[in-house]
């Protein structure tokens, strides 16, 4: 019986999943500095998330390595809420496709990876009444993989498409007595991949542009069946199932301006949080159903400005800044449904440095974001909120 309880505790404590951390802060280093925009201007591996159509602007190959960190200062009722910091590597690759004729210099592909250092993937499955920042903290501890391709149709029109990968956990735990009468367990689990499309289009006329990016929902589901046999007590079959992590379907509309060293962007991102099914389901047929999540759809507003200076010998210096406001999709936390989530105001800044020699260009981009969580009041009268900091840098070589 003790073996069964131990196995059950392990399974309930967490499940493996993949999601996209770039949904929190943006992808790469330039986009986070510019408030998660990029649908109108991204032309490298970051376009696989921002807008795959932008890959069609790429004329040279680029390989990028980077490092990102995230830290949290969260509270509930005046007490600190523990939250592990996030650390991850970033890898990006941009490849123009060398076609001839009417497709010359019109097609490129890109791949982007965001990989945590401390763990491969993480998702916590907690009881609904346990206070938790489920849509914020653990999403920085997940691998993100995306790839895409862009096509220049001419006349200022670009289109593109890609895919984001996600994996859920399925498995079983069998606890039974062996030939000696001692309890033993057998665990069998595997990751099952799921995918979501990323589609984009843009139109440019002079210094002005408009772009639309559509992203499908990414759902990290888990299903673990726990069965106990020949232990001298009757234990019902337990189905530990639900959603470990979730990225809602999105529509991102962006207006851009680029001229004379300036790049500006205004954007709105619709997120269909209303389709969120909630983190857990009933464990047995007789178990009461967990309270409904009752999330609502949200619209994130973004604004960003960049100033670039072309220096002698092909050098470059850029200053970047932006802001976005992301409303919370979650209802006010209660004793029965203690999902802690807050509206966030993010202030973003960054610097870009570039140098070129012997036909090779090196780009260093650095960013930092400070997220302020608007304080909310729990159903029991306690208040919860805090802040978060995201920062990182990337080094890209274009050749």
Query: In this predicted model, what pLDDT tens digit does every residue of 234-250 receive, in sequence order?
Result: 667 776 767 777 889 99
Residue closest to 202 by CA, chosen among 193, 213, 217: 213
Mean pLDDT of the chain: 85
Element (H, E) at 171: strand 157-177
Average pLDDT over residues 290-294: 77
User: Cα(31)–Cα(310) distance, rounded to whole angstroms?
Assistant: 20
Residue closest to 316 by CA, chosen among 348, 364, 358, 360: 364
Query: In this predicted model, what pLDDT tens digit does every residue of 333-382 receive, in sequence order?
Result: 887 777 888 999 999 999 999 999 888 999 999 999 999 999 999 888 89
**Which fold would CATH assign to domain 2-398?**
Porin (2.40.160)
Tell me the three-class secondary structure of 334-394, residue by residue. Answer: CCCCCECCCCEEEEEEEEEEEEEECCEEEEEEEEEEEEEEEEEECCCCCEEEEEEEEEEEE
User: Cα(238)–Cα(72) distance, rounded to whole angstroms?
Assistant: 34
User: Cα(271)–Cα(269) distance, rounded to whole angstroms?
Assistant: 6
Q: What's CA 44's distance to the chain center, in Å?
A: 18
Q: What share of the chain is helix, strand, coil (3-state, %, to 5)?
A: 10, 55, 35
Q: Which of the listed ranges 155-169, 273-287, 369-383 does the model predict with the highest average pLDDT?
A: 369-383
User: Cα(252)–Cα(216) distance, rounded to whole angstroms?
Assistant: 12
């Amino acid at each position: 019986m003790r073996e069964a309880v131990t196995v059950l505790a392990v399974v309930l404590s967490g499940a493996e999943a993949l999601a996209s951390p770039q949904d929190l802060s943006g992808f790469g280093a330039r986009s986070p500095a510019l408030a998660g925009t990029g649908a109108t201007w991204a032309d490298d591996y970051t376009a696989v998330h921002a807008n795959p159509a932008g890959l069609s602007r790429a004329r040279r190959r680029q390989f990028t390595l980077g490092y990102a960190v995230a830290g949290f200062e969260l509270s509930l009722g005046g007490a600190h809420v523990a939250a592990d910091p996030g650390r991850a590597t970033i890898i990006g690759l941009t490849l123009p496709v060398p076609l001839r004729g009417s497709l010359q210099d019109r097609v490129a592909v890109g791949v982007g990876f965001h990989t945590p250092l401390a763990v491969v993937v993480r998702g916590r499955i907690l009881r609904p009444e346990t206070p938790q920042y489920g849509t914020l903290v653990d999403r920085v501890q997940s691998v993100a993989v995306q790839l895409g391709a862009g096509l220049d149709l001419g006349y200022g029109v670009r289109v593109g498409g890609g895919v984001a990968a996600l994996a859920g956990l399925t498995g079983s735990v069998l606890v039974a007595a062996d030939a000696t009468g001692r309890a033993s367990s057998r665990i069998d689990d595997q990751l099952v991949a799921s995918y979501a499309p990323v589609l984009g289009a843009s139109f440019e006329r002079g210094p002005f542009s408009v772009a639309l990016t559509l992203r499908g929902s990414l759902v990290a589901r888990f299903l673990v069946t726990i069965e106990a046999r020949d232990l001298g007590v009757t234990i019902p079959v337990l189905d530990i199932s639900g959603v470990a992590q979730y990225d809602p379907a999105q529509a991102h509309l962006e207006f851009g301006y680029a001229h004379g060293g300036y790049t500006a962007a205004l954007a709105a991102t619709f997120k269909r949080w209303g389709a969120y099914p909630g983190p857990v389901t009933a464990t047995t047929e007789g178990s009461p159903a967990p309270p409904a999540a009752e999330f609502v759809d949200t619209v994130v507003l973004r604004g960003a400005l960049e100033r670039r200076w072309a220096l002698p010998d092909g050098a470059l210096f850029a200053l970047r800044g932006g802001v976005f406001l992301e409303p919370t999709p979650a209802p006010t936390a209660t004793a029965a449904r203690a999902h802690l989530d807050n509206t966030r105001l993010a202030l973003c800044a960054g610097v870009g440095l570039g140098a070129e020699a012997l036909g090779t260009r090196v780009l260093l981009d650095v960013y930092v974001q400070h997220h302020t969580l608007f304080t909310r009041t729990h159903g029991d009268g306690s208040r919860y909120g805090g802040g978060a900091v995201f920062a990182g840098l990337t080094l890209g070589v274009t050749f």
